[in-house]
Amino acid sequence: MRTRPTLSWTPTEDLRPGTTDPEPVADALRTGGVLVLSGAGLSTESGIPDYRGAGGSLRRHTPMTYQEFTTSIHARRRYWARSHLGWRTFGRARPNAGHRAVAAFGRHGLLSAVITQNVDGLHQAAGSQDVVELHGSLNRVVCLSCGAFSTRRELARRLEEANAGFEPVAARLNPDGDADLTDEQAGDFTVLPCSECGGILKPDVVFFGENVPPHRVERCRELVDAATSLLVLGSSLTVMSGLRFVRQAAQAGKPVLIVNRDPTRGDRHAATRVALPLGATLAGLADGLDIPVDGRPAD
């Protein structure tokens, strides 16, 4: 049975309204040792939709689950047809002002690391170092039989050759890199096996219904322990994969600061939530701290 991912959460208590004053975030950055936890909201300005915002994809789209992907060739055909088409757009996405500001904070020694729930690789493309990809990366493909890794670019080339003339028009792009297609549009799309052993290929991302690898969770817990504060950027914190680190930081007495326009499931653990657009807010913080973005020298 295909289960529907968690769409939202309902507050069980009154939450403080968000502020439009980003100064608490600036103060945390001045102190240094800030651990960033980023979500899909950070990438919307790069043209990648989020899951749970006002126009989030989960309101119209149920992502592939791990159980369905691994047990049904028809599901894999549908997934790879949609994902192959979506990759043409997803793979061209570029870092926005928010990603570039985070990279600038890192270059100037204000951050301890970045944990991202995103699978788009845009933090690294912007120049961030020490990035933990909590949910993996669409830039890699893994074989479920032999464990061999390959690049998504190489698989895209192979799929192009095997599916010449596959040019349906997709309705929308989704945050997990696939595109909205009907089953009829997916048609008889050719799914390719691992070139090493013939096994099932899967993008190296954590699907709904799949657990984050324990060693990755443990690494993130270590980063929370070592951080001075936790800065959440563009995440609703609806699911436990990110919320657990907010709870861990709060329980340890570390300040939790959130920049997200809408209320989040982590608000009650946070010292403040800044309800402002991410790109402009983070760029403004960099400017206020006299930190050049993109490596350009300050005026």
How do residues 51-92 score in pLDDT, each as one tens digit?
545 544 444 456 789 999 999 999 999 899 988 888 877 778
pLDDT of 1 > 50? The answer is no
pLDDT for position 51: 54
The CA distances from residue 113 to 85, 86, 230, in Å, are 33, 29, 10
Q: Give dist(CA 142, CA 202) in Å, integer.
A: 5
pLDDT for position 15: 74
Q: Is 284 annotated as a binding residue?
A: no
- Give the pairing of strands 201-205 and 149-151: unpaired
21-48, pLDDT tens digit by residue? 999 999 999 999 999 999 999 999 998 8
pLDDT for position 63: 74
pLDDT for position 146: 97
Q: Which of 84, 123, 135, 269 is catalytic?
A: 135
Specify the CATH architecture of the domain 23-288.
3-Layer(aba) Sandwich (3.40)
Closest C-alpha to 222, from 130, 142, 149: 130
145 secondary structure, DSSP code: T
pLDDT for position 294: 78
Q: Is 112 annotated as a binding residue?
A: no
Map out the domains of the chain as residue ranges: 23-288
pLDDT for position 57: 42
Active site residue 99: no
Q: Is 150 annotated as a binding residue?
A: no
The CA distances from residue 103 to 30, 110, 293, 297, in Å, are 15, 10, 8, 15
